[in-house]
């Protein structure tokens, strides 16, 4: 009996069995994760090399971070990672309602994370920390005549550039993650997944955990290296 006919409609025509398709999907996702790790990894290597070249200026940059806001963000993102893991377990057991609930809270917490991130960026803009076009004069000296202002040294602007690159890339990946979670919620609500077939949920879970991993290193290497 040709195995293809008995399997349900989820089996794509180029695979023999559902198990082979699921194994291929997981392998493919992890290969893609390797490229994502490398994509963000290059930023961390550049940050590490530049920090090694200018330790003093980068320390001054780190000490200007709002690390309490960072703390709340990290707490939120660790919680969302926990919730997504529970959702994956629920999907494996097949109770879709729990999956939808957990994904919904994750998306809301993610939105919370991004609002805190937005306030942080706004505060830094106010303090004149944004490199490039914007003024690099600390706010407390903004009213002084030009010759008494001394703008931030070039290396601190480089630190702020890395800060914006890392947090900006992370924010973009978080938005993509939240988009994927919402589509998964929508598809689960439509009853597309069951205990025997929920590979897309697995893959979205892997992606969200990747976003969480990136933030862990951003927080501990950019915010907390203050001494």
Partner 1 sequence: MTTADYIPDVAPLPAAIVPTNYLTDKESLLSWLLTTDHKRICILYTFSITAFFVFGSAMAFMVRLALLTPGGGWVTAETYNRLFTMHGVIMVWFFLIPSIPATLGNFLVPLMIGARDVAFPKLNLLSWYLFLVGGVMALIAMVSGGVDTGWTFYTPLSTTFLNSAVLITVIGIFIAGFGTILTGINFIVTMHTMRCPGMTWFRMPLFLWAIYATSVIQVLATPVLAMTLILVGVERVWHVGIFDPALGGDPVLFQHFFWFYSHPAVYIMVLPGLGVIPEIICCFARKRPFGYKAIAFASMAIAFLGFCVWAHHMFVAGISIYAGLAFSWLSMMVAVPSAIKVFSYTATLYKGSIQMTAPMLYALAFIGLFVIGGLTGVMLATLGLDVHIHDTYFVVAHFHYIMVGGALTAYLGGIHYWWPKITGRLYSEFFAKLSAPIIFIGYNLTFFPQFVLGYLGMPRRYHIYPPDFQVYNVLSSAGATILGIGYLIPFCYLIWSLKYGPRAGDNPWDATGLEWQTPSPPPTHNFKKTPIVTEEPYAYYNRKSPIGPA
Partner 2 sequence: MEDRPLIPIRTYVLVYIALMLLLFTNMAMAYVFLGRHWSNAISVGIGAIQFLLVFLFFMHVKYYRYPLIRLFACAGLFWIALLLVLTLSDYLTRNNPPDASPRGEPVFLKH
Choosing among partner 1, partner 2, none, which partner's interface includes residue 157 (Cβ < 5 to 8 Å by kind)?
partner 1
Choosing among partner 2, partner 1, none, which partner's interface includes residue 165 (Cβ < 5 to 8 Å by kind)?
partner 1
- Contact predicate 85/105, CB 8 Å: no
- Return the structure tokens found at 75: 């707490």
Per-residue x/- track, 24-43, partner 1 (CB under 8 A): x--xx--xx-xxx-xxx-xx
227 binds partner 1 per the rule CB under 8 A: no
CA neighbours within 13 Å on the CB side: how many for 51? 18
Per-residue x/- track, 109-138, partner 1 (CB under 8 A): ----------------------xxx-----
- Contact predicate 58/51, CB 8 Å: yes
Q: Which of residues 61-100 bind partner 2 (CB under 8 A)?
A: 67, 71, 74-75, 78-79, 81-82, 84-86, 89, 92-93
Q: Which value, in Å, is the radius of gyration of the alpha carbons in the chain?
A: 22
Of the residues 7, 10, 18, 54, which one makes contact with partner 1 according to CB under 8 A: 54
Characterize 72-83 residue by residue with b for buried, 16 or more Cβ atoms within 10 angstroms of its Cβ, and e for exposed: ebbebbeebbeb
Helix, strand or coil, per DSSP, at residue 129 = coil
Contacts of 126 (CB under 8 A, 6+ apart): 139
User: Nearest distance from residue 135's CB to partner 1, in Å?
Assistant: 14
Cα 113 from Cα 218, distance rounded (Å):
14
Nearer to partner 2, 119 or 196 (CB): 196
141 binds partner 1 per the rule CB under 8 A: no
Task: For 127, list phi and psi in degrees, rounded to 5.
Answer: -80, 5
- Return the structure tokens found at 172: 């973009």
Binding site for partner 2 (CB under 8 A): 19, 22-23, 26-27, 30-31, 33-38, 41-42, 44-45, 48-49, 52-57, 59, 67, 71, 74-75, 78-79, 81-82, 84-86, 89, 92-93, 154, 195-196, 198, 205-206, 209, 212-213, 216-217, 219-221, 224-227
């Amino acid at each position: 009996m040709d195995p293809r006919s008995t399997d349900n409609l989820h089996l794509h025509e180029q695979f023999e069995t559902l198990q082979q398709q699921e194994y291929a999907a997981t392998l493919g996702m992890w290969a893609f994760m390797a490229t994502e790790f490398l994509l963000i990894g290059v930023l961390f290597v550049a940050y590490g090399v530049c920090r090694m070249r200018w330790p003093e200026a980068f320390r001054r940059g780190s000490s200007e971070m709002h690390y309490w806001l960072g703390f709340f963000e990290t707490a939120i993102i660790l919680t969302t990672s926990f919730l997504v893991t529970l959702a994956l377990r629920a999907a494996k057991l097949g109770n879709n309602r729990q999956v939808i609930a957990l994904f919904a809270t994750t998306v809301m917490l993610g939105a919370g994370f991004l609002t805190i991130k937005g306030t942080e960026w706004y505060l830094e803009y106010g303090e004149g920390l944004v490199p490039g076009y914007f003024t690099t004069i600390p706010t407390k000296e903004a009213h002084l005549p030009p010759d008494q202002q001394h703008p931030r040294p070039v290396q601190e602007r480089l630190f702020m550039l890395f800060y914006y690159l890392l947090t900006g890339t992370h924010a973009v990946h978080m938005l993509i993650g939240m988009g994927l979670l919402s589509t998964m919620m929508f598809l689960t609500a439509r009853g597309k997944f069951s205990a025997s077939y929920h590979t897309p949920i697995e893959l979205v879970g892997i992606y969200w955990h990747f976003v969480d991993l990136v933030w862990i290193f951003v927080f501990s290497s950019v915010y907390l290296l203050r001494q």
